[in-house]
Amino acid sequence: MNCVFVQIRCKPGQGYKVAEEIVLREFHSELYSTSGAFDLLLKIYVPEGDDVGQFINDNLLSIAGIERTLTTLTFKAF
């Protein structure tokens, strides 16, 4: 499994709706509300061999109310 973090900026007033939809879809490991330039921080595990971009497009980006995302891939350091 590949650990991926996605920061999500929601359209004004849509943060709770976006978070609720993410929870209902049950593809995440952790979900946090954050301060700063992004509203939510999502931690997901993408199955080994799956295309990360396709996984995010299929599971996340079809949710209404998302304005922008920033994806950070992780790599085993040790």
| pLDDT, position 19 | 98
69 vs 49: CA distance, rounded Å:
22
DSSP 63: S
Q: Give yes or no for a contact between 69 and 56, defined as CB atoms under 8 angstroms apart.
A: yes
**Which region holds residue 55: left if phi is over 0, alpha if psi is between -120 and 50, else beta?**
alpha
* Residue entry with tokens 């971009």: 53
Statement: residue 77 has pLDDT above 90? no
Q: Which domain CATH number covers 48? A: 3.30.70.920
- pLDDT tens column, 48-74: 999 999 999 999 999 999 999 999 999
Domain residues for 56? 1-71
Q: Does residue 6 lie in a domain region? A: yes
Statement: residue 78 has pLDDT above 90? no
Q: How many domains does the chain have?
A: 1
